[in-house]
Chain A
Amino acid sequence: MSGELSAAYRSGRVRALKRDGLYYHLSMEAPGLAPSEPGAFFMIGLGEIESPAPDPLLMRPMSVLNHDGDFVDILFKVVGRGTELLAAAEPGDSLRLLGPLGRPFSRAAQPQPILVGGGAGVPPLCFLSRRLSAEGIAHRVLFGFNSADDVPDSALSKLSQEPEIFTLDGRRGQKGHTVAALAGDREAGRIQACGPGPMLEALKKVRQPGEAMELSLEERMACGMGFCRGCVRPVATGDDWRYATVCREGPVFDADDLVDVNEAGEVCLQEEGSCG
C-alpha cells in the first residue's frame, strides 16, 4: 500500500459515447473527483449509485484518457461482458465511478520520455503526452496497432504532437512493431509504456544500458483499492520477492522492480532463461 487514497466513489453520467477506430470513447461527468495524473485509472460501473445492479457485479478498471474537473474520458475496447454493456450505454445513463486510483507515470524532462503504447494501452499515454506537452517537456510518442482500422484518430488528434504510428498490416504509418523502432544503439531516455504483455517483454530487450523504464500493467481487479488482493504481480524485495497489487502499488511500475517467478516460487533470471 502506498499513500492515502485520493479516490472518491461518485455518481456519474454518460455525456457521449462514440466509436473511435476499434475503440469506444466514453465521455463522463461526475462531480467531486480529485484530479487525475496520467496513468491513473477509475473503476467504472453502470447503474445508480444508490442501488447498483448485482450483475455484472464488479466495476471495471479503465485508464484515464483525459480528466478535466468534472469531466472524465476513457477509451476502451470491448473484451467481455462488462465492456459490452458499457459500449451500449447512452447519453444520460447513470454511472458509478471510483477514482482516481493507482500510481501514475512519473513526469520529468530528463531523461527524455519515450512513450510506447500498444493497442488498448494507448489511452494513458495520450493523457501523458498532452500533459508533457503542456509542461513543455519534449518527448517521443510511438503507438502500435494491429490494423489501420484500429487507430483511434479522434483521440490522437487531440495530442499536441503527431505520434509515430506503427501497424502490423502496414496500411498506416510504418509497418511492424513499435519496439523495432527502438532497437539498436540510441540515446537512453525514459521509456514509459503500456500495452500487451509481449510488447512490454520485447521492450525490455531493446532497453539501453541504464535506461529508465516504467511499465503500466493490466490485471483483473475487484476492489481497485488494494484490499481484495486480487490483482497482484511479483516485485523484487532485495534477494527475495513479494506480490504487489497492480491497483494500488501500480498500475505503473518501475521495470526494475518487476520480476518473473516460476511455479516453484523462485525468481527467474532472464539472462539464464530459467523461466522457459
Chain B
Amino acid sequence: MADLLVFAGGLELKNPMLAASGCFGYGLEADPVIPPSLFGGIVTKTITPAPRRGNPVPRLAETHAGMLNSIGLENVGLDAFLADKLPALEDVDSKIVVSVSAGSAGEFAEMAERLAEHARVDALELNLSCPNVAEHGRNFAADPAAVAAIGKAVRRVFARPMWIKLSPNVTDISEVARAAQDAGADAVTAINTLLGMDINIDSGKSPFARVTAGLSGPAILPVALAAVWRIAREGGIPTIGVGGASSAKGLLKFLAAGAEAVQLGTVLFSDPGAPQRILDDLATHLDAQGHTNLNSLREQWKEQA
C-alpha cells in the first residue's frame, strides 16, 4: 500500500488531505461519523480575538453544484478556544492548524503570540479573506501591502509554519501570493470562497442580511485549480489547495496543479463518507500506477511535462 505522507507548508502530514477552515468546526463535532484523525491536518474554524455570534439566518443557500454561506465568522473567541477547544484536540492524530482573523496587524500578532504558547498548535492559517464580515478580515487579501504587513507582524512572534489564506476575488492572485512570500509565509492557502449572491424573485432581494455570500462546492473547483496553478508556476511559495475537491480525483488535480496538500471543505457537509473514501482511492490509484508514494507520482508528472 502506497505511503501518503507529504511535506506541506512546513508540516509533515501523514496524508495530503486536510479539513478546511469553517468546514469542520473545532475538529470534534462530527466524530465519530467523520473521525478527525483521518486527516493529515485539521484547520480549525477561524478564531477571532473576541467571541463573534455571526450573521442571522438564513446563512445558507444551495446553488447548482455548490452552496452559498454567510456564517460571519461565528466563533467562541480566543480565550474560550484556548480553554475549551484546543485541549480537547490533544489526542487527535492530525496536525492542528489554527485559523485566525483579526482587525489589524497588531491584533493578529497578539493572537499569534498567545497561540505560540501552546504546543498543540502546529501551524497558523491567517484568514485574510472572509467575504462575510464587515470589520474583521475585510478583504485584506485584496491588498498586497496589507497582506505583507499582517504576515510580517505574525512572522516576528510565531516561529512555526504560517499559512496565509488568499481570496479569489482579486485581479491577480499571484501578486498577493508574492506579498505573502515576502512576509515570510510558509505557504498560501488558495482559495477562499468566491463572492456570490442569490435573489428571491418575490422580494427582489437577496435572502442574506449581508446581501452577498461566499460560494463553495464542486462548482468552484476549476477556479481554485487555476489559482493554485498561477501561484505555483511562479515557484515562489508553496500552496495548499482548497475549493471544490470532493474525490481523490479532485485532490490529485490540485496536487498536479502544484499544491503540496489539499483541504476539503463543502464535501464534508454533503458527503461525510468522502474523507475515508478519498484516502482509500488515493492509495488504490498510487498502487495501480506503480507508485509507492506521492513524490513518485509528482516526479512522473514532471517528466511528462
Contact = CB atoms under 8 A, between A and B. Distances in A.
Interface of A: 1, 4-5, 7-9, 45, 49-52, 54-59, 81-82, 96, 98, 219-223, 225-233, 242-243, 248, 261, 265
Chain A interface, >50% SS class: loop
B232 interface: no
B295 interface: no
Interface of B: 22-26, 29-33, 45, 53-54, 56-67, 69, 71, 74, 217-219, 246-247, 266, 268-273, 277
B25 A220 contact: no
Contact of A225 (B29, B45, B219, B247): B29
Given A5-B33, A9-B33, A228 B269 contact: yes
Main secondary structure of the interface of B (DSSP, over half): loop
A222 B67 contact: yes
A55 B269 contact: no
Contacts of B61: 220
Contacts of B59: 220, 229-232
13 contacts: A1-B29, A50-B277, A54-B246, A57-B63, A57-B67, A58-B269, A219-B57, A225-B30, A227-B45, A232-B59, A232-B74, A243-B74, A261-B56
Contacts of B29: 1, 225-227, 248
B69 A223 contact: no
Nearest to B64: A55
A247 B301 CA distance: 44
B25 A226 contact: yes
B67 A52 contact: no
CB-CB nearest 4 A-B residue pairs: A227-B25, A227-B29, A222-B269, A54-B218
A232 B270 contact: no
Contacts of B266: 57, 222
A54 B53 CA distance: 31
Contact of B24 (A50, A219, A227, A232): A227
A231 B32 contact: no
B111 to A, nearest CB: 20
Given A222-B67, A232-B59, A265-B53, A227 B273 contact: no
Contacts of A233: 57
A172 B59 CA distance: 38
B67 A229 contact: no
Contacts of A96: 271
A126 B29 CA distance: 30
Contacts of A221: 60
Contacts of B272: 9, 98, 223, 225
Given A57-B65, A222-B60, A229-B59, 10 more contacts: A7-B33, A9-B273, A50-B273, A54-B217, A54-B246, A57-B270, A58-B269, A219-B57, A225-B33, A232-B57
Contacts of A231: 57, 59-60
A5 B36 CA distance: 14
A185 B271 CA distance: 50
Nearest to B265: A228
Contacts of B247: 51
B279 to A, nearest CB: 14
A222 B268 CA distance: 9
B67 A58 contact: yes
A220 B57 contact: yes
A52 B270 contact: yes
A81 B271 CA distance: 18
B33 A243 contact: no
Given A52-B270, A230-B59, A5 B218 contact: no
Contact of B69 (A1, A52, A230, A232): A230
Contacts of B22: 228
Contacts of A57: 62-63, 65-67, 217-218, 266, 270
Given A4-B31, A233-B57, A56 B69 contact: no
Nearest to B219: A54
A248 B31 CA distance: 13
A207 B54 CA distance: 32
Nearest to B28: A1
B271 A52 contact: yes
A9 B33 CA distance: 7
B127 to A, nearest CB: 15
Contacts of B57: 219-220, 230-233
A54 B32 CA distance: 24
Contacts of B53: 242-243, 265
